[in-house]
Amino acid sequence: MHFLKGFEKSTQILLKLGHEFGQKEREKPQELAAEQVNFVIRLNLGSHPAKFWDADGREAALSISPGETVIHPQVWYKGQVCVNLIGIRNRGFAQPLWGMTSLEAQQGLRIYLARMKIDESFRNLKSLLGMTKLWSLPPGQWQIIFGSALASFTTLVQHPVPSHV
C-alpha cells in the first residue's frame, strides 16, 4: 500500500470512489486495517455477497425492510478484520445500501451519503454541460475539456451576463 506512505493515518479515511466493493478490489479491508487506515466501503450484494460473523460465530444477516436502518457492530469480515456493518433501505428504493467501515457505523454512513451527493452533483453537472460521454475520451483530453468547461461555468456563475445584452 505504497500510496499511503506520508499521510497522517489518524485522520485519513479511504472512501471507495466510483466502484462498489467486490472480490477484485486492490485495497482489501485486511490491508487497510494493517495500515491503520480508516475506510468506508459500499458492499456489492451481487451473486457472491461478503459474509460477516459476530463474536459468537453467528452470521450477520444482510436483510432489511423498507424504511429501516440496521447496524451490526463489531462483526468480522473473513475472520480477519473487525468492522461495523450498516444497512439502510429508503422507502421507494428497490435495493438497500450496505456498507462496512472501520469508523462508528453512523459516521461511516454519513460520510458515504455525502459522497453519494457529490457523485450526483458531478453527474448532474456533466449532464448540464453536455459532457456525459466524457470518460470515453483519452485521459488527458477529457481532463482539458472538463477543466475548461468548469472554468467557463464558474465564470458565468460569478459574473452573469447582464440581462440587457
> Given the C-alpha cell 438497500, which residue does it identify?
96
Percent of the chain with pLDDT over 90: 27
The whole-number average pLDDT for the span 84-94 is 88
3-state secondary structure of 91: coil
Count of CA atoms in the C-beta half-sphere (13 A) of 65: 1
Residue 21: pLDDT band (50, 70, 90) is very low
Predicted confidence at residue 107, as pLDDT, reads 93
Q: Is residue 104 scored above 80 in pLDDT?
A: yes
The whole-number average pLDDT for the span 111-140 is 78
Predicted confidence at residue 76, as pLDDT, reads 95
DSSP letters, 37-61, are -EEEEEB--SSS---EE-TTSPBPP
**Amino acid identity, position 25:** E
**Amino acid identity, position 67:** G
Residues 6+ apart with CB under 8 A from 118: none
What is the pTM (predicted TM-score) of this model? 0.65
pLDDT digits (tens, 9 = 90+) for 26-36: 457 888 888 88
Please choose, from the candidates 67, 77, 75, 123, the residue with its C-alpha nearest in 3D space to the C-alpha of residue 97: 67
Look over the chain and give the mean of its residue pLDDT values, rounded to a whole number.
Answer: 77
> Phi and psi (nearest 5°) for 80?
-120, -30
